[in-house]
Chains A and B, each alone.
Chain A
Amino acid sequence: MAENGPIGWRPSRALLALPPGLFVLVGALVPMAILVVFSLFRVEDLTLVPAISFDSWSKIFVDPLYRHLVGISLTYGLITAALAGLFGYPLAIGIWRMSNTWKGVALIVLLTPLYTGDLMRLYAWRLVLGTEGLVNAFLLWIGIIHAPLKILLFSPFAVHLVLFYDTLPFMVLGLLVSLERIDRDLIEASRDLGASPLDTFTRVILPLSIPGLAAGGFAVFALAAGDLLTPQLMGGTSGVTAMAMIDNLFGTAFDWPMASALAVALLVSLLACLVILGLAVSRLPPVQAVLRGGAR
C-alpha cells in the first residue's frame, strides 16, 4: 500500500530514532556517566578506591586554580568563535556567491588543510611564528623590526591564531549550509522592492543565516575550548588550560577522580555557555523575526 511505503512497511518514528539514540547513549552519555562515577572515587597509595567521596568536587569549587583553568579554556573558545564568525562570514558569503564549479574548488581549498593532521599543522606554525621563522624573517628583511619578535610564538596570540586557523573551516561550512537554504527569490524580491545591497544583507541574508552562524560558532567554541595540543604546543606558559590539567591528572599524577571531576566541570561549563549563548542569539530581533516568520 502506498501509505506503507515502497517496501510495504513504514517504520515508526521511535524506531527510526533508535539507532542515533543508541549511538548518543553509548558514545556520549555512558562515558560521561563513567566520568561522574570516577569523580566520586578516591586515590589511596596510587590505587583507585571505589568509594563515594566528594573530595575532588570540593577542590573544584574551593581551589581557584581549577576555576581559572576552566575560565582560560572557555575564553579561548569564545574568542576563537568570535574571530571565526567575524572573518568566516565574508568567506562564506564569497563562496556562496560563486558558481557551482568554483564553489567546489573553494570547498576543496578550504578543507584540504584539515587533511594534513593536527601535529603537522602545529609544527608548521612553529616554523612560521618562531624567532627565526618566516614572519620574523620577513619583518626583519623589510626593516619594520630590528630584532625578532618573541610574542609571536608561545603566547596567547599564537594560541588564538592557530585555534582560529584550525576551526575556521567548521564555521564557514556551518554558514554555507545556512546560506544555501536561503530562498534566492527573497533576495530578488528585496531588490525589486528597492532595498539597497546593504539593506538586503542586513534584513534578509544576515537574519536568515544566523542559525548557521550559531551552529558554526557552537562547533568552533567547543573545538577550541576542548583543544589540548594547540595551547600546549603554541602557548608556552599561557597554554596551560583545563584540558592540559586533565591530561596531566589522568596521566602523570594518576589522580583519576580529580581529572574526571575537572572533565565533567569543563563539560558542564561548556554546555552552560552554549545554553546562555543560544538563548541570547534566539532573543536577537532579526532571529525573532525569522522564528515568527517560520511559525506562520
Chain B
Amino acid sequence: MSPLMRAYLFVFAAFLYLPIAVLAIFSFNASELIDGS
C-alpha cells in the first residue's frame, strides 16, 4: 500500500473518531467540574 493511501486511511480514521475523542476530552473536564476542582 502506498504511503499516500496509508495517509488517506489514517486521516479518515481520525475524522471518524474526532467527535468521540472530543466527547472523551469533555467527559474528563465534566468530571473535574463535578469534583469542584
Contacts and interface: CB of A to CB of B under 8 A. Distances in A.
B13 A94 contact: no
Number of chain A interface residues as a range:
20 to 34
Nearest to A124: B19
Contacts of A123: 23
Interface string B1-37: 1000110110011011111101100100000000000
A124 B17 contact: no
A127 B12 CA distance: 19
Contact of B23 (A95, A109, A127): A127
B1 A90 contact: no
Contacts of B15: 165
A134 B5 contact: no
Contacts of A110: 16
A120 B23 contact: yes
A61 interface: no
Interface of A: 87, 90-91, 93-95, 97-98, 106, 109-110, 113, 116, 120-121, 123-125, 127-128, 134, 165, 168
24 contacts: A87-B12, A90-B5, A90-B8, A91-B9, A91-B12, A93-B5, A94-B5, A94-B9, A95-B9, A98-B1, A109-B13, A109-B16, A110-B16, A113-B16, A113-B20, A116-B23, A121-B19, A124-B23, A127-B26, A128-B18, A128-B22, A134-B18, A165-B15, A165-B16
